[in-house]
């Protein structure tokens, strides 16, 4: 079947007859098994494949972390714990899920601005690494350490003096709420020492959703140089150097998958340099979207098909309350269509339609004038690339429709 020309080519889910196969099952059967629409489904096999591709492309020495804010479903996090070297959490809620999923405390790091005091105490009690974003966290960690009689393990998140070019979301360079400005690191490190905290490394995270290998390589090199300078200036040994991530996935027309080979070669050079420059340091990269985004589908049902002044609408039982990103309201400047199809009409003649959700707002758009396989009421509309920033990043209670269900197959 030919995918709609209006989005990036999707090939990760095979087709049998008219049906997409997920985890080896035809989509309609899976929908019956789950017992309701809308739902999200994530494929273990695709998660495994993605990690295998990364392992094959990146040097063995690089430690691969999963940033679980991309998809915090407990069963999926548990699956990822078995595949990656560490889990990055961004709240005490996520910390709880990671620990429940069986992640070892020494494999967990905790980043995020505005960590509340009780969260910092929880992190020390759990024995996880805290990526410090502000000097304010330091005395709280020191007090927790004293009270609990446990070391407070800290790394410093650095806001570098550069940004990640071509990122969907920039998270470094210039004034930022994230991390400690590179210029302030020396002073903060002096406090770390004075408070007796266990300093373990640096964390740099330049941005998100980048499809240009050269930009990612450039950011990794600059991050490395900056960290090296900070190591040399401070005279401190580090155990971890987290170079961030930002690996993107294709969503829109003309977007091409990220090339891993150049990133692997670049990291191999940095790993080699690190052996001489900072021999105790483990190089870490942390990925969210890239690990899980392509492994997931959002599936909803067509409940009405109507024509308004010449445009055919598919009205579905799912929408932006479950999938804000697909509606274009999560970080997009100009709305573009996510890759969408009709999961049980593969190969059918195409029809120009708009697909919308059930909410009383024109923002609730699943597909804006796309060529989709001709659909009938009862069919299953599928949004690809939905494994990251789905339900947990959507306003579930808006308009009071039923909650979405998630399945890992
Ligand atoms: C959000 C975030 C990630 C994950 O970003 P992706 O674009 O999903 O890979 C990793 N690290 C930090 C610090 C983050 O805030």
**Token output for 191:** 């406090």
What pLDDT is stored for residue 167 in this prediction? Answer: 67
Q: Is 111 in the pocket of ligand 1 (CB under 6 A)?
A: yes
Q: What is the per-residue pLDDT across 170-207, written as a single tens digit (0 to 9) for each?
A: 666 788 899 999 999 999 999 999 999 999 999 999 88
What pLDDT is stored for residue 164 in this prediction? Answer: 67
pLDDT above 70: percentage of residues in the chain: 96
The arithmetic mean of pLDDT across residues 35-43, rounded, is 98
Q: What are the beta bridge partners of residue 199? A: 154
What pLDDT is stored for residue 200 in this prediction? Answer: 98
pLDDT bucket at 378, cuts 50 / 70 / 90: very high
- Ligand 1 centre to CA of 163 (Å) is 15
Whether the predicted pLDDT of 4 surpasses 60: no
User: Residue 119 in contact with residue 136, Cβ under 8 Å?
Assistant: no
State the virtual CA torsion across 365, 366, 370, 376 in degrees, nearest 10.
Answer: -110
DSSP string, 104-163: -GGGEEE--SS--HHHHHHHHHHTPEEEE-STTHHHHHHHHHHHHT---EEEEEEE-SS-
What pLDDT is stored for residue 399 in this prediction? Answer: 96
Q: Is 290 in the pocket of ligand 1 (CB under 6 A)?
A: yes
Query: What are all long-range contacts of 118-121, with beta carbons under 8 Å and residues at least 24 apart?
Result: 118/92, 119/91, 119/92, 119/95, 120/144, 121/147, 121/148
Q: What is the per-residue pLDDT across 217-248, written as a single tens digit (0 to 9) for each?
A: 999 999 999 999 999 999 999 999 999 999 99
Q: Is 157 in the pocket of ligand 1 (CB under 6 A)?
A: no
Peptide bond just before 140 cis, omega within 30 deg: no
Whether the predicted pLDDT of 281 surpasses 80: yes
Q: Give the helix/strand (H/E) hosting 326.
A: helix 324-327
- Ligand 1 centre to CA of 131 (Å) is 13
User: Residue 304 in contact with residue 342, Cβ under 8 Å?
Assistant: no
pLDDT bucket at 320, cuts 50 / 70 / 90: very high
- Ligand 1 centre to CA of 61 (Å) is 21
Whether the predicted pLDDT of 61 surpasses 70: yes
Question: Mean pLDDT in the chain?
Answer: 95
Q: Is 67 in the pocket of ligand 1 (CB under 6 A)?
A: yes
Distance of CA 310 to the CA centre of its chain: 39
Name which residue sits closest to atom 2 of ligand 1, judged by CA. Answer: 67
Q: Is 208 in the pocket of ligand 1 (CB under 6 A)?
A: yes
pLDDT bucket at 300, cuts 50 / 70 / 90: very high
The arithmetic mean of pLDDT across residues 5-21, rounded, is 85
DSSP string, 231-293: HHHHT---SEEE----B----STT--PPPHHHHHHHHHHHHHHHHHH-TTPEEEEEESHHHHG
Q: Is 205 in the pocket of ligand 1 (CB under 6 A)?
A: yes
How many CB atoms are closer than 10 A to CB 149? 6
Q: Is 70 in the pocket of ligand 1 (CB under 6 A)?
A: yes
Tokens 């998630």 found at: 406
Q: What is the per-residue pLDDT across 386-408, written as a single tens digit (0 to 9) for each?
A: 999 999 999 999 999 999 999 99
Taking the CA of residue 69 as reference, the ligand 1 atom at the shortest distance is 1
- Ligand 1 centre to CA of 287 (Å) is 6
Q: Give the helix/strand (H/E) hosting 53.
A: helix 44-57
Q: Is 289 in the pocket of ligand 1 (CB under 6 A)?
A: yes
Strand pairing class (350-356; 365-373)? antiparallel
Q: Is 305 helix (H, G, I), strand (E, B) or coil?
A: strand
What pLDDT is stored for residue 174 in this prediction? Answer: 84
Taking the CA of residue 286 as reference, the ligand 1 atom at the shortest distance is 10
Q: Is 245 in the pocket of ligand 1 (CB under 6 A)?
A: yes
What pLDDT is stored for residue 3 in this prediction? Answer: 43
The arithmetic mean of pLDDT across residues 13-29, rounded, is 97
The arithmetic mean of pLDDT across residues 285-296, rounded, is 98
Q: What is the per-residue pLDDT across 331-359, written as a single tens digit (0 to 9) for each?
A: 888 999 999 999 999 999 999 999 999 99
**Token output for 137:** 């966290």
What pLDDT is stored for residue 299 in this prediction? Answer: 98
pLDDT bucket at 6, cuts 50 / 70 / 90: low
Name which residue sits closest to atom 9 of ligand 1, judged by CA. Answer: 288
Query: Ligand 1, residues 69, 71, 325, 389: which to mutate, most atoms within 8 A of Cβ?
Result: 69
The arithmetic mean of pLDDT across residues 63-71, rounded, is 98
Taking the CA of residue 244 as reference, the ligand 1 atom at the shortest distance is 11
Q: Is 172 in the pocket of ligand 1 (CB under 6 A)?
A: no
Name which residue sits closest to atom 6 of ligand 1, judged by CA. Answer: 288
Taking the CA of residue 169 as reference, the ligand 1 atom at the shortest distance is 7
Name which residue sits closest to atom 5 of ligand 1, judged by CA. Answer: 288
Q: Is 286 in the pocket of ligand 1 (CB under 6 A)?
A: yes
State the Cα angle at 40 between 52 and 76, rounded to 5°.
40
What pLDDT is stored for residue 372 in this prediction? Answer: 97
- Ligand 1 centre to CA of 334 (Å) is 22
State the Cα angle at 61 between 223 and 278, rounded to 5°.
50
- The runs of H, that is alpha helices, within 149-238 are 185-194, 213-234
**Token output for 362:** 């024109």
Q: Is 204 in the pocket of ligand 1 (CB under 6 A)?
A: no
What pLDDT is stored for residue 5 in this prediction? Answer: 47
């Amino acid at each position: 079947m030919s995918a709609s020309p209006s989005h990036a080519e999707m090939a990760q889910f095979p087709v049998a007859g008219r049906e997409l196969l997920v985890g080896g099952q035809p989509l309609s059967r899976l929908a019956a098994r789950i017992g309701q629409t809308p739902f999200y489904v994530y494929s273990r096999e695709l998660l495994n494949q993605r990690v295998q591709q990364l392992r094959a492309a990146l040097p063995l020495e690089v430690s691969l972390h999963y940033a679980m804010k991309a998809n915090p479903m407990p069963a999926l996090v548990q699956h990822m714990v078995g595949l990656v070297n560490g889990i990055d959490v961004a709240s005490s809620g996520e910390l709880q899920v990671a620990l429940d999923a069986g992640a070892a405390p020494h494999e967990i790091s905790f980043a995020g601005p505005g960590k509340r005091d009780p969260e910092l105490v929880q992190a020390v009690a759990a024995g996880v690494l805290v990526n410090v974003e502000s000097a304010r966290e330091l005395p709280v960690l020191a007090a927790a350490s004293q009270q609990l009689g446990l070391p407070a393990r800290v790394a410093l998140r650095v806001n570098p003096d550069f940004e990640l070019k071509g990122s969907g979301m920039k998270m470094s360079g210039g004034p930022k709420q994230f991390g400690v400005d590179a210029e302030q690191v020396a002073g903060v490190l002096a406090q770390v020492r004075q408070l007796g905290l266990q300093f373990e490394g640096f964390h740099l995270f330049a941005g998100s959703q980048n499809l240009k290998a050269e930009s990612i390589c450039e950011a990794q090199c600059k991050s490395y140089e900056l960290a090296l300078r900070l190591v040399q200036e401070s005279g401190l040994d580090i155990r971890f150097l987290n170079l961030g991530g930002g690996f993107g996935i294709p969503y829109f027309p003309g977007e091409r998958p990220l090339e891993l080979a150049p990133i692997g070669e670049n990291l191999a050079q940095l790993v080699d340099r690190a052996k001489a420059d900072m021999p105790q340091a483990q190089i870490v990269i942390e990925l969210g979207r890239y690990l899980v985004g392509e492994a997931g589908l959002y599936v909803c049902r067509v409940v009405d098909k109507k024509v308004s002044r010449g445009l055919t609408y598919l009205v579905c039982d799912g929408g932006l309350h479950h999938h804000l990103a697909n509606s274009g309201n999560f970080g997009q400047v100009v709305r573009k269509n996510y890759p969408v199809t009709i999961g049980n009409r593969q190969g059918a003649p195409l029809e120009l339609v708009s697909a919308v959700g059930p909410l009383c707002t024109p923002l609730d758009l699943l597909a804006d004038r796309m060529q989709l396989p001709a659909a009938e009421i009862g069919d299953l509309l599928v949004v690809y690339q939905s494994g990251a920033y789905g339900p947990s990043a959507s306003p579930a209670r808006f308009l009071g429709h039923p909650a979405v269900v998630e399945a890992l197959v």
